[in-house]
Amino acid sequence: MQGELLTAVTGIVGLVTGVVIGVLAGHFFRTSGTQRRPPVPERRDGTTLPAGIAEVLSALPSSAVVLDSTDRVLRASSAARAFGIVRGEELVIGELLALARQVRRDGVIRETDIEVAVRKFGPDATSFAVRVAPLGGTGLVLVLAEDQTEHHRVEAVRRDFVANISHELKTPVGALALLAETVQDSSDDPEAVRRFTDRMQQEASRLTAVIQDLITLSRIQGAEPISEPTRLDLGSVVDEALDAVRMPADAKGIELVGSGAKGITVLGDETMLETALRNLVSNAVAYSPKNTRVAVSVAESKSGVDISVADQGIGIPQQDLGRIFERFYRVDAARSRATGGTGLGLAIVKHIMTHHRGEVTVWSKEGSGSTFTLRLPRPENREAKAPGNTDRQEAAQ
């Protein structure tokens, strides 16, 4: 990504430099001929910006600044001012100003990465990939700064994901290796062999669950939004989700309740919606104490259909609510592993709702429980927008 950015910036600098040289040459020949055009407007200190440069700079998506021979800002893009790199006629970032002076002295193009704490809102610091170049021997210096904050954030997420998946796979694999060695040493003790093989089956099931969730998440992330959804009966979707977790719920004495789904239909992918709802109900059961209740309710509104899963569990701390849909993020890692969670269930739910042009929201209070809500658009709204429904749209008009 960085290499592509620097290549693009190099091209831009070359373009700007070429425009400057061309403009200056054209200006020389025009002024030496019989016809003269009005001079380019000057600043009060006598410095001029060659014609055409302003138009080029205004088209650049990155922050662009042109400095004159006295380090005053001759031209600055709106992005440069929005980021706070330029204020009035001054380049306020000392590191950039020092770099510009070096480039003016030796004419050598320089590149660097900087972090600037200039924004009043948003991230604490903004990361920039910077390229500074002279403009055609005119004493002018061009500073280009490309915002890399989002790129760095994505890279950090990728690194965290690789670290997390490595840990999630390493733990059961290591446990299986250790248990296999223990079984081998206990071959003359049938009771120990049975105990350790049971543990091996548990670790193998955990490993299988992680791999299956990874496959599901990868498939969902790589898919396009559902262009041809089918009409689904929410009653069967809710029943399937409740039946899938009936055994673990019964083992904890948790009552499963479903209501409001009868006769309500939505448009979507049945397998995906069942997966999303099953993940929510499974989490509700896993994080609820014994002898409580988990309720799945369905309600219609003017904007869509809401499917809510409410529990009487431990709840989620307020500071964690914004991150629970991230891959492998766990509020309590030890408890999650004890319940057999992979840390991918809510990420899968979020992506499924995105593909259905819906959303998932959460309300939670520590000690009182949580309510997750899947919000889907009404069937008529989806049908009106879906490809292949032009006849219906024309009839409605």
- Residue 25 corresponds to which amino acid? A
What CATH homologous superfamily does 225-397 map to? Histidine kinase-like ATPase, C-terminal domain (3.30.565.10)
- Over the stretch 207-255, which tens digit does the pLDDT of each residue have? 777 787 777 777 776 655 555 778 888 999 999 999 989 998 999 999 9
Residue 281 is predicted with a pLDDT of 94
Please report, for residues 5, 168, 177, 339, the alpha-carbon distance to residue 174 in angstroms, rounded to integers and kept in the order given.
41, 10, 5, 19
Residue 120 is predicted with a pLDDT of 47
Is 89 within 8 Å of 73 (Cβ atoms)? yes
Residue 76 is predicted with a pLDDT of 83
Measured over the CA atoms of residue 381, residue 382, residue 385 and residue 390, the dihedral's sign is: negative
What CATH homologous superfamily does 2-147 map to? PAS domain (3.30.450.20)
pTM over 0.95: no
Residue 384 is predicted with a pLDDT of 46
**Which residues partner with 65 through β-bridges?**
76, 143
Contacts 24+ apart (CB under 8 A), 151-157: 151/1, 151/127, 152/127, 157/326
Residue 16 is predicted with a pLDDT of 38
Provide the angle, in degrees to the nearest 10, between the axes of the packed helices 190-222 and 345-355.
30
Report the 10 Å Cβ neighbour count for 118: 14
Q: Extract the tokens encoding 355.
A: 């593909």
CATH topology of domain 149-222: Helix Hairpins (1.10.287)
- Over the stretch 49-64, which tens digit does the pLDDT of each residue have? 666 666 777 667 678 8
Q: Extract the tokens encoding 200.
A: 């091996």
- Over the stretch 242-272, which tens digit does the pLDDT of each residue have? 998 999 899 999 999 998 878 888 888 888 8
| Residue 195 to residue 250: CA distance in whole angstroms | 24
Residue extents of the structural domains in the chain:
2-147, 149-222, 225-397
- Over the stretch 279-309, which tens digit does the pLDDT of each residue have? 999 989 988 999 999 999 999 888 889 999 9
Residue 38 is predicted with a pLDDT of 36
